[in-house]
Structure 1
Amino acid sequence: MFKRVIAALALLAACTSTPAPTPFSGPMVIGDSDPVRFSGRQPTTFPVRGMDAARFQTFVDWPRAKAVGIEFVFLKATEGGDLLDIKFKDHWAGAAQAGIKRGAYHFYYFCTSPEVQAQFFIDTVPRTRGTLPPVLDMEWNPFSPTCQRRPAAATVRDEMQRWINIVQAHYGQAPIIYTTPRFYKENELAAFRNTEFWLRTTAKTPAEAFPGQKWTFWQYTSTGTLPNTPGAIDINAFNGSTAAWEAWLERRTLR
């Protein structure tokens, strides 16, 4: 009787246990389906690399991303004054569980005040010790069905600074500016002299696309690949050594 009970309990445990993850047979590397040969230093030579993700990344195998060398991720949290990225909470939790340094970004909308947008971001993104500084994503959106406003450069910079001031006061760290070559040039963003930049340039180096601009992060491809993660991924490089990365984290993560 005792043996039958033990056997029954073993069978029950087998039926209710969590199934093992599906083995992955693909290459365990950060890949690129359409790599570019840059004229200067290749982004793949930077020792610290990361990614960004939004609702378009419906599934990310975070443990495998960490295993192949993804050290950080910036996640889309909000857009405008009321649009929450539907995958933000899942990505936020998944990255943390895998031990990947995470931060959140806000996509700016030119038909809502910066004060409203800043408060929406604050209401959405937790102030968690050890997370990366907030990011302000500044680029023109020609596909917006609700807002085609393009303010003058001085107005753009004023609105940016108002958003930055509010968000910095809440999180205790100065936000990073993400931008594109066209937006940077048209709005004279070089005026933000004491601000860190995350620059998108997938055909030229930052030195070619943003002459004279210092940068911390470089988004160098939108066709990256990761094991067991479907679709294309934006891959980024940190501008520095592994030791510089650790020092940057010590200085710039939330307290």
Structure 2
Amino acid sequence: MRLSAVSTILLASLTISGCAARGEREAAQTSAPSKEMTSSIAKSQTPTPSVEIGETVSRVERQQALVTSLPADPRPEAFLPSNQGGDEVPLPLQRPLAMLSPANPMPRAMRQQPMQIYSHQFRDAKPINFGTTSPRKLAVHGVDVSRWQGDIDWETLRTQGANFVYIKATDGGDHLDPMFKKNWRAAQQAGLKHGAYHFFYWCRTAGEQADWFIRNVPREAGALPPVIDVEWNGESSCKRRPSREQVLAKMQVFMDKLEKHYGQRPIVYTAPDFYRDNLRGELLNYPFWLRSVAAHPSKVYPGRNWLFWQYSGSGVSHGVDGRIDLNAFHGSAEEWHNWVASSVR
């Protein structure tokens, strides 16, 4: 009699557990993805290749050659959302860059060694006279790039004075800059200090955007801290302008998730009008990267401490066709080396 009761209890427990697990899977499969899109990407009419997590081997036998060619990755974020096209949808052909480790990771001791500082040799198609506060007096200059710079000669760009580069990675919760992967690897190979930035989209939740950035940007040893780019964009399909309180709350969610994942405090990039509306006197414990192309940051952002100054959007340099954004670090060469040593992982 006692043995029968125990068996009955075990059978009931297994049945309840199975139902609960099946219910969770079904709930995940029926939750519709957000239909919000950034202005920089057209919505595809074809279904996104996807695969259900935990599917049986029999379902993927048709893709066996592809499956065996991919490294094993137990993390659920290695796959795209639930299947939208039935059993005949192929598996993803490429894993996100964030899951790929550098081929030759640099030892931490070498990452923190001072690197050669190349002097500023950029030109400006629309030069501004900053007077005694000229950015030319700052020791360490760099650039930020995106798809619009096309193919870049990174070795030449570095010797022209690009001692660091920030690379456009993502915006919103669905767009990856098509040149990000190539630029990230090439900058690393050229020995540039490099980091990634995300253009924040006000019609998407902060959590979705943080997850999208994390999915696509490697947690790479030696990388510079991530950047959140917050500004008003009149050309965006999103016309929403949240209140100051809402802006700060959304930013905090995004930055907290990135800081937890990368172990680095994010940098805030912004422009004068957005700063005036939302950030004056706020986020005093965060480093700032300020756009100020007509005057020194002290005049445009009075009282604000800053780390980087974007002083031109019309830079000209060998190694890049067309214009490029020019930036400077707020400090001496020694202060730059100290900041890098304390900021890279």
Which interval holds the TM-score relative to the shorter structure?
0.7 to 0.9
C-alpha contact (below 8 Å) 2:197/2:229 kept by paired residues: yes
Could you say which residue in structure 1 is the equivalent of 2:181? 89
Give per-residue Cα distances to partners, 1:127-171, cap 9 Å, x unaligned. Answer: 0000000000000111112x1110001110010011000010000
Conserved 8 A contact 1:33-1:223 = yes
Residue 291 (structure 2) aligns with: 200
**TM-score for the superposition, normalised by structure 1:** 0.87
2:198 alignment counterpart? 106
Distance 1:222 1:83 in 2: 23
CA offset at residue 229 of structure 1? 1.3
**Per the alignment, do residues 130 and 173 of structure 1 end up closer, same or farther by CA in structure 2, a change over 3 Å counting?**
same
Amino acid at match of 2:174: D
Asked if the contact 2:153/2:319 (under 8 Å) is kept, the reply is: yes
Preserved CA contact (<8 Å) 1:76 1:88: yes
Q: CA deviation at 1:189?
A: 4.1
* Equivalent position of 2:160 in the other structure: 68
Q: CA deviation at 1:226?
A: 1.0
CA-CA distance at 1:206 after TM superposition: 0.2
- 2:254 maps to what in 1? 163
SS at match of 1:143: coil
Higher RCO (C-alpha 8 Å, min separation 6): 1
In structure 1, distance between residues paired with 2:299 and 2:152? 32
Moved over 2 A (4+): none
| Aligned residues with identical type, % of pairs | 44
More strand by share: 1
C-alpha contact 2:289 2:306 (8 A) present in aligned 1: yes
**Paired residue for 1:219?**
310
Question: Is 1:115 matched up with 2:207?
Answer: yes
- CA deviation profile, 1:32-88 (whole Å, cap 9, x unmatched): 111100144100111100000011111211000111221000011000000100110
Contact conserved, 1:39 with 1:205, CA < 8 A, in 2?
Answer: no
Q: Distance in 2 between matches of 1:162 and 1:143?
A: 25
Deviations 1:178-200 (A, max 9, x none): 00011001013431010000000
Q: Deviations over 1:197-239 (max 9, x none)?
A: 0000100110000000000000000111111310000000000
Report what 1:231 is aligned to.
322
Query: What residue in structure 1 maps to residue 279 of structure 2?
Result: 188
Q: Which residue of 1 aligns with 2:269?
A: 178
Amino acid in the other structure paired with 1:29: Q
Structure 1: gaps of 5 or more residues: 1-27
State the partner residue of 2:114.
none
Distance between the aligned counterparts of 2:280 and 2:146, measured in 1?
25
For 1:150, the equivalent position in structure 2 comes to 241
| Paired AA for residue 181 in structure 2 | K
Aligned to 1:22: none
* Aligned-pair Cα RMSD in Å: 1.1
8 Å contact from structure 2 (residues 154, 319) kept in 1: no
| Distance in 2 (alpha carbons) for counterparts of 1:168 and 1:66 | 28
Q: What is the aligned counterpart of 1:210 among 301, 304, 307?
A: 301
CA distance in 2, matches of 1:187, 1:228: 37
**Does 2:216 correspond to 1:128?**
no
- Contact 2:145 2:168 survives alignment (8 Å): yes
State the aligned residue count.
Answer: 226
Does structure 2 conserve the Cα–Cα contact (< 8 Å) formed by 1:107 and 1:137?
yes
Q: Using the alignment, how far apart are the partners of 2:282 and 2:266 within structure 1? A: 15
Bigger Rg, which one: 2
Q: In the aligned structure 2, how far is the partner of 1:211 from the partner of 1:220?
A: 16
